[in-house]
Chain A
Amino acid sequence: MKSQNRRSFLKTSTAITVAATGLTPSTAHAGPTNILSPDRMGVLVDTTVCIGCRNCEWACKTAHGLETPPLDAYEDRTPLAKMRRPDETALTVVNQYENPKEPDLPITVKVQCMHCDHPACVSACIVGAIAKHANGEVVWDTDKCIGCRYCMVACPFQVPAFEYHKALGPRIMKCDFCSERRADGKLPACVESCPVEALTYGRREDLVRIAKERIKRSPDRYVEHIYGEAEVGGTSWCYLAGTDFDSLQFPKLGLNPAPGVSESIQHGIFAYFVPPVSLYALLGAVMWTSRHRHDEEEEQS
């Protein structure tokens, strides 16, 4: 792990010369440090089942020790009227959208970290404080983080939040896929709390299969698209919907992993440190010859 980092750093220091001689970043591929287990877990969110009860919001805050009103208070549906985003006080939120098929039954969508298979935040983090684990979760390490917020710049879903009003020890706050609960053999808090089973927890492979079966069984109920199956190289959380994902404010993203181009450039410039070292040698040669010539000129004059 350490030597890999060192090597890729070496690669990075070389990239400039490559960039200068023309670079082809189209062959973007994921970071080599990713551990992608075939058994990685995920959650399938079926937005056609979700009733917008927001029990998951309460369960999440309770599980993560965040301040929350009692569960009864969540019966109030007025917060749904306004678009909200996960932030440092709530790691997951439910938003409401008009249903073009049945105006009386609005569509509700739970939002949280997608736990990408090739996360931009992991690639971007200056100190490697964010990691993708074999069990699918993308988690943040408070002992490493310097609070630079480059993960927030990088995230294609704009999920990580920052505690801007803490003078000391501000944290990056985002869904951690209930890392601790799952380590204890428990379900993620939101999945456990969902009364209508809109959330299905399981191996990502199985979830994609289940999602495909659901679409096949009820083609009228769903649009033929599993959001997260292929977006930015795949995400551990996947979504089903009865209407176009654009209208539910899912970002339109390409199929290449988000860190792809950036990593290709980095690794190109620093290919085994060859470009920087060659540049050093070249400049040394120029310096020696020009000084030599200069001395000769001086002798002649």
Chain B
Amino acid sequence: MNDFMRPQPVTKKFLSPGVIVLLLLAANGLAFLAGRFLFGIGAVTNLNNQYPWGIWIGIDVAAGVALAAGGFTTAALGHVMHREQYHAVVRPALLTAMLGYTMVAVGVSIDIGRYYYIWHPLLMWNGSSALFEVGICVMIYMSVLYIEFLPVVTERFIGRVDLPGALARLNAPIDRLLRWLDRMLDKMMFVFIIAGVVLSTLHQSSLGTLMVIAGPKMHPLWQTPISPLLFLLSAVSVGFPMVIFESLLAARSFGLKPEMHILGRMGRMVAPLLGIYLAFKLGDLFIRETFVYLKTVTTVSVMYITELLFGVVIPLRMFLSPAVQKSPALLFTAAALVVGGVALNRIDTFVVAYTPPYALGSYFPSIGEISVTVGFIAILVLLYRAAVLIFPVISLPDRALSPQSKYSVRG
């Protein structure tokens, strides 16, 4: 007997032992962040004139953008290619992308020295700058993600607006506004969905252009003119694994039955995507003959091989196996490897591969930098948890609906 699945708020308590740990990590991160705002970036980071970018850019921004790729890949699959069977994962992926990009935006604003000038790129354009392109695309895409999420908000509150006290008079107008928004969005949404996919391909690849200008400061293993293409391909291949990863994690955390029939089928699509990425990565390695750097055991060669072997080759083989597609544990492992591999690739490109001239030492993130990054990730998970408790995001079996009414609802 197949229960009909419908997105609805999860009915669980917000607090749990895990949530308390996350709250502590978040508070710790915010404390160090206060230090950054009171005493400057130098007070909490190990950054200096030789190493201007650290993990706040490498992880919070670069890896953050890559791991939010689940948003545009599932939108392309579910809405553009119109594969209805995947609709159950579109909302969780959208929520992750929306929160992920919000974290990226916050991450950028705390890393730049003059955070109060964050709006400058909107007015002051420099078309030759890859960073300008990334910045503009991320700003627009983030707005698009919020618009895409609006129907979830209207769905939650239409007919349920109930403000307390004197504000109660506003209930009816707000309800009318929500209904109007809902109708408008229903007609317009395709514009935003396509725009979201286009904007994503643009900035996911431009993120790969960022370090090209560093020229000889970059290790040749990562300094390639096809870096934007590699970034785009890896973002596309990490999209579904990220959705699998978070869906299984959320199912575990809320004690729900994982939707293995959808996730397994998504997993099957990951292998060819990873294969294309691997082909370009290896092609680049052999055409530019950078494999010579892998002959000796150094930090860079170990990082490169880890990234490729554990992040691409092993999960590629795993996703091809039917046993993996059926087992939540194995599917989770394979997805986590891809997620880790792409995150490692971004850290490698932005932090490990960068060796400036005249460096007096090498860069390793400070306790403050790590605390802030960990704190942000904790806040992200907390916001996700809060959002799925409030809004209809996760699809749950809905016994109130008979199979027949399934079609009337959709129409």
Q: Name the CB-closest residue of B to A173.
A: B49
Interface residues of A in 11-42 (CB under 8 A from B): 11-13, 15-16, 19-20, 23, 25, 31, 33
Query: Are B135 and A145 in contact (CB-based, < 8 A)?
Result: no
* One of A64-72, A179-187, A257-265 at the interface: A257-265
Q: Name the CB-closest residue of A to B230.
A: A19
For B228, give its contact among A15, A123, A126, A259 (CB under 8 Å): A15
CB distance from B212 to the nearest CB of A (A): 4
**Count of interface residues, chain B, beta-carbon cutoff 8 Å:** 72
Query: Are B76 and A283 in contact (CB-based, < 8 A)?
Result: yes
Bound Cα distance from A38 to B206, whole angstroms: 34
Query: Is A210 an interface residue, CB under 8 A from the partner?
Result: no
Interface residues of B in 184-238 (CB under 8 A from A): 190, 193-195, 197-198, 201-202, 205-206, 209-217, 225-226, 228-229, 232
Q: Name the CB-closest residue of A to B223.
A: A261
List of A residues within 8 angstroms of B209 by Cβ:
15, 262, 265-266, 269
List of B residues within 8 angstroms of A125 by Cβ:
126, 129
List of A residues within 8 angstroms of B15 by Cβ:
none
Interface residues of A in 46-98 (CB under 8 A from B): 83, 85, 87-88
* One of B115-123, B293-301, B303-311 at the interface: B115-123
* One of A100-108, A150-158, A219-227, A234-242 at the interface: A150-158
Query: Interface 1/0s, chain A 142-177, versus B by CB < 8 A?
Result: 001111111011101110111111110110000000
Bound Cα distance from A262 to B220, whole angstroms: 15
List of A residues within 8 angstroms of B356 by Cβ:
158
State whether A147 and B130 are in contact (beta carbons under 8 Å apart), knowing that A87-B49, A261-B212 are contacts in the complex.
no
Most chain-B Cβ atoms within 10 A of its Cβ — which of A123, A158, A262?
Answer: A262
State whether A126 and B40 are in contact (beta carbons under 8 Å apart), knowing that A33-B128, A269-B205 are contacts in the complex.
no
Query: Interface 1/0s, chain B 19-51, versus A by CB < 8 A?
Result: 000000000000000001111111101011110
* One of A189-197, A199-207, A285-293 at the interface: A285-293
Q: Name the CB-closest residue of B to A258.
A: B215
State whether A265 and B212 are in contact (beta carbons under 8 Å apart), knowing that A153-B52, A167-B40, A284-B194 are contacts in the complex.
yes
State whether A146 and B120 are in contact (beta carbons under 8 Å apart), knowing that A152-B49, A280-B198, A286-B81 are contacts in the complex.
yes
State whether A158 and B358 are in contact (beta carbons under 8 Å apart), knowing that A87-B49, A287-B82 are contacts in the complex.
yes
Query: Are B135 and A126 in contact (CB-based, < 8 A)?
Result: yes
State whether A167 and B38 are in contact (beta carbons under 8 Å apart), knowing that A13-B202, A283-B194 are contacts in the complex.
yes
Query: Are A263 and B76 in contact (CB-based, < 8 A)?
Result: no
State whether A9 and B127 are in contact (beta carbons under 8 Å apart), knowing that A283-B76, A290-B80 are contacts in the complex.
yes
Query: Is A270 an interface residue, CB under 8 A from the partner?
Result: yes
For A146, give its contact among B121, B133, B215, B358 (CB under 8 Å): B121
Query: Are A25 and B198 in contact (CB-based, < 8 A)?
Result: no
List of A residues within 8 angstroms of B113 by Cβ:
145-149, 162-163, 166, 170
Bound Cα distance from A150 to B215, whole angstroms: 13
State which size class the interface on A falls in: 35 or more
Query: Are B49 and A16 in contact (CB-based, < 8 A)?
Result: no
Query: Is B124 an interface residue, CB under 8 A from the partner?
Result: yes
Query: Are B117 and A147 in contact (CB-based, < 8 A)?
Result: yes
Query: Are A158 and B133 in contact (CB-based, < 8 A)?
Result: no
Query: Is A255 an interface residue, CB under 8 A from the partner?
Result: no
Query: Are A16 and B190 in contact (CB-based, < 8 A)?
Result: no
Query: Are B49 and A85 in contact (CB-based, < 8 A)?
Result: yes
Query: Are A283 and B131 in contact (CB-based, < 8 A)?
Result: no
State whether A167 and B205 are in contact (beta carbons under 8 Å apart), knowing that A7-B127, A149-B113 are contacts in the complex.
no
Query: Is B364 an interface residue, CB under 8 A from the partner?
Result: no
Query: Are B112 and A12 in contact (CB-based, < 8 A)?
Result: no
Bound Cα distance from A269 to B20, whole angstroms: 46
Query: Interface 1/0s, chain B 76-110, versus A by CB < 8 A?
Result: 10011110100000000000000000000000100
Query: Are B127 and A126 in contact (CB-based, < 8 A)?
Result: no
Bound Cα distance from A160 to B137, whole angstroms: 27
Query: Are A144 and B38 in contact (CB-based, < 8 A)?
Result: no
State whether A280 and B195 are in contact (beta carbons under 8 Å apart), knowing that A170-B41, A269-B205 are contacts in the complex.
yes
Query: Is B357 an interface residue, CB under 8 A from the partner?
Result: yes
Bound Cα distance from A127 to B229, whole angstroms: 25
Bound Cα distance from A16 to B114, whole angstroms: 30
Query: Is B149 an interface residue, CB under 8 A from the partner?
Result: no
Bound Cα distance from A33 to B129, whole angstroms: 12
State whether A167 and B37 are in contact (beta carbons under 8 Å apart), knowing that A9-B133, A19-B229 are contacts in the complex.
yes
For B40, give its contact among A11, A170, A265, A267 (CB under 8 Å): A170
What are 7 A-B contacts defined by CB distance under 8 Å? A10-B127, A20-B232, A23-B226, A126-B121, A261-B213, A265-B225, A270-B127
